[in-house]
Amino acid sequence: MIGYVTIGTKDMEKAKAFWLELLEPLDAKILMDMDRIALMGSAMDQPMLAVCTPFNEEEAQPGNGNMISIAAGSRENVDKMYAKAIELGGTDEGPAGERMPSFYIGYFRDLDGNKAAFFHMG
């Protein structure tokens, strides 16, 4: 159902580098790069993550209550990808762990303060 999600950035090159390295285990690559926006994912017909500088040319701001949750495929991948986010300069918003039966998730913020999480159900 979701085609892509867009998050704002103050520095496109840093945002692309952060997210590309972080999403490497999910075979993500830049699928489209058009100056102020870059879409990343495994294929154009799959959900994608876009980083962009805001169209209105005002400073990018993370939303309160907004979060991107990315299926990691396994608990092990949640652990690895959450740790990688922190290693790349992201900040902890709740370490990887089981929040309720069969729901495993790790929360972080990217370099621009956007909240994100890697999760696995089952």
- CA 97 – CA 100 distance, rounded (Å): 9
Which of the pair, 72 or 2, is modelled with greater confidence? Answer: 72
Give the model's pLDDT for residue 18.
Answer: 98
pLDDT of residue 64: 86
Pick one of 3.40.50.2000, 3.10.180.10, 3.90.180.10, 3.40.50.2300 as the CATH number of 4-54+67-121.
Answer: 3.10.180.10
Confidence check: pLDDT of 15 > 90: yes
Q: What is the mean pLDDT of residues 16-22?
A: 97
107 has pLDDT over 90: yes
pLDDT at position 1, please? 79
Average pLDDT value for the chain: 96
- In this prediction, what percent of the chain has a pLDDT beyond 70? 100
> At 63, is the pLDDT very low, low, confident or very high (cuts 50, 70, 90)?
confident
State how far the Cα of 9 lies from the Cα of 31, in Å rounded to an integer. Answer: 18
d(CA 121, CA 98): 10
Kindly report the pTM of this predicted structure.
0.92
Residue 116: partners with Cβ closer than 8 Å, 6 or more residues away: 67, 68, 69, 70, 85, 107, 108, 109, 110
89-105 mean pLDDT: 97
* pLDDT at position 48 over 90: yes
pLDDT at 51: 97
